[in-house]
Amino acid sequence: MAVDRHAKGEGVAVATTRALPGPRGSALAGNERAYQHDRIGFLQRCQQQYGDVFRLDAGTVVVCDPDRARRILADSQQRFRAEGMLLSGARPGGRAPLADWPAARDAAARELTTPMLAAHAGRLVETFPHALATLAERTLPGVSALQRLSAIAVADFCLGRPGWPDAELSGAIAESALALVAVLDSGLQLPRWIPDPRRRRLRAADRALSAALTRAVTERLDQPPPESPGDLLDQVRAEDAGRTATSRALLTTLAGMHAVPGTALCWLVATLAEHPETCRRIRCEAADGLAEVAETAQPDRLAYTAATVREVLRLYPPTWLVSRQVAEPVEVAGWRLEPGEQVLISPYLMHRDPRRWDEPDRFCPERFLALGAHGHAYLPFGAGPGSRLSARLGMLQLTLLTALIARDYTPAVRPLPVAPRFATLLIPTELRFRLLPPEPEESTVDN
């Protein structure tokens, strides 16, 4: 059990008069300047000094123990809730119109079928190269461009036909993700009546996404249902819930999916550029294995590509810090927590813990080629039944997109090495990239 030394004036933090905005709107009181200067370094020092479970301030406990973290994330008694997190759809300074995302996510996970995923995978393999071709040979800002690529895949999963890709819907998904992250990254604490361009952008993005989704759903519901579901809308409409309820279910699912995959894709592109031998190996594997993955919806048929995706998610988990709010009195490793207090879980710290990983800071996809190699210290998709959708769908999409990029292009990135920024999500700092024709030698990005 960690020792609460800061109560004696010795330890982690000394309370300040102002709440410290943390990732996804969490409030950390304490050594504000030290934390803001080096967020992950501050938490690493706390872990080294006080152990895997420590109280950061009067209302926050940090958990870096994988087993306890899994139990909290998989909590079935609703003692720990996800209110206020990015993926719950909560909006800073206002109500949470998409707070029913966990329920929608779980419902979508129950509806996942291999034929539906295979149909989704087949469409990606057939049509995603056209989206990549529009970006080829251009120097692009990594986060926004790759968020938009990822949004195409998300839109296809939800509304994959007819007329895929739906440029209006995928563009609205990407803009909503970028606008939401901009607001959350700002740590915005202003009253809602004070004008702010980031909040105006977010409100406009939300309206555009809702309108695009309503239009797409209306068009589809006017058509006869297919013989077998090919996307999430086919599954939801089978419940005959009505147009408003159907749009709502899809909107909450989109809200929970749109930011994280695009961030992961940023790190995958950066990794392919930094490790050209990995890119070449994936290219060779994709030449023979893509069709099989599209047919079976099993990303591990591309074994090395899937291992690379898992290794990148280990090194750079987009949700590097996860928050849970305590809903009822509970004890965690000897700490008594009351309703309204907060538990923070850092997959990043667990993924780089030398007690649980050999050479944890080294990029080594081979460590994931052995079955069950990661054990309990690997939480890129969370834990529990609710993680099934993001884990199964996320691995399928990221493996396919990585294979398609490496098959047809050699990514070039600047600057290298890419520096991480520990904001709302773990994003690459100032990432710019180009998709160049595949060549044996390493390419660089022009100024």
Contact 249, 107 (CB under 8 A): yes
Has residue 443 got a pLDDT over 90? no
Classified as helix, coil or strand, 187 is coil
Which residue type sits at 321?
L
Do residues 365 and 285 make contact, with C-beta atoms less than 8 angstroms apart? Answer: no
Residue 89 pLDDT class (50, 70, 90 cuts): very low
pLDDT recorded at residue 104:
52
Q: Can you give the pTM of this predicted structure?
A: 0.83
Residue 125 backbone dihedrals phi, psi, to 5 degrees: -65, -35
Question: Do the bridges between strand 342-345 and strand 60-63 make them parallel or antiparallel, or are there none, so unpaired?
Answer: parallel
pLDDT of residue 66: 94
Q: What is the pLDDT of residue 147?
A: 85
Residue 224 or residue 10, greater confidence: 224
**pLDDT band of 390, cuts 50, 70, 90:** confident
Domains of the chain: 5-436 (1.10.630.10)
- The answer to whether the beta carbons of residues 121 and 230 sit under 8 Å apart is no
Q: Which pairing describes strands 426-428 and 420-422: parallel, antiparallel, or unpaired? A: antiparallel
How many CA atoms does the CB half-sphere of 341 hold within 13 Å?
20
In DSSP terms, 63 is beta-bridged to: 53, 345
- pLDDT reading at 317 higher than 90: yes
Range among 4-8, 50-54, 150-154, 387-391 with highest mean pLDDT value: 50-54
The DSSP-derived string for 238-265 is TT---HHHHHHHHHHHHHHHSSHHHHHH
